[in-house]
Amino acid sequence: MSELPDDLRYSTEHEWVRVEGSVARVGVTDYATSEMGDIVYVSLPTVGSSVVVGDACGELESTKSVSDVFAPVSGVVTSVNDAAADEPESIGEDPYGEGWLFDIELSDPSELDDLLDADGYAELIGQ
């Protein structure tokens, strides 16, 4: 299990958020990918679509299971990681870097306050 980056916020559904200005980059945590096994397919939201915190907006399929990706914040999807869609194994290999999933233009930045910091997420997953 890798160290949890301190600059990220985390959802209880195992997504991470990196905020730059009014845009939140979203991915899934190393913990989630290690629990899932090898990721073989990813479905990402459509650029321009609106997402609401807690709504399923994508899907990861692994050799073990299919898991929804939930929006950790509300807003409009501004970009998706086509490279991760083409090479889904990158999500498990580099979940906090090249394996990011999509960006959201925040509609309510205060929702970030509801996410966990690295210590809170570590406690959630028993680290």
Strand order of the sheet with strand 23-28? 9-10, 15-20, 23-28, 102-106, 75-80, 50-51
Sequence letter at residue 37: G
Res 2: pLDDT: 60
Cα gap 125→100, rounded to integer Å: 20
% of the chain with per-residue pLDDT over 70:
98
> For the whole model, what pTM was predicted?
0.96
44: helix, coil or strand?
Answer: coil
Tens digit of each residue's pLDDT (9 = 90 or more) over 80-126: 999 999 999 999 999 999 999 999 999 999 999 999 999 999 999 99
**Residues 6 or more apart in contact with residue 110 via CB below 8 angstroms:** none
* Exposed / middle / buried, residue 21 (Cβ in 10 Å: 0-12, 13-18, 19+): exposed
CATH of domain 9-124: 2.40.50.100
Confidence of residue 3 (pLDDT cuts 50, 70, 90): confident
Q: Domain boundaries in the chain? A: 9-124
Mean pLDDT of 53-80: 96
Residue 1 scores a pLDDT above 60? no
CA atoms within 13 A on the CB side of 32: 25
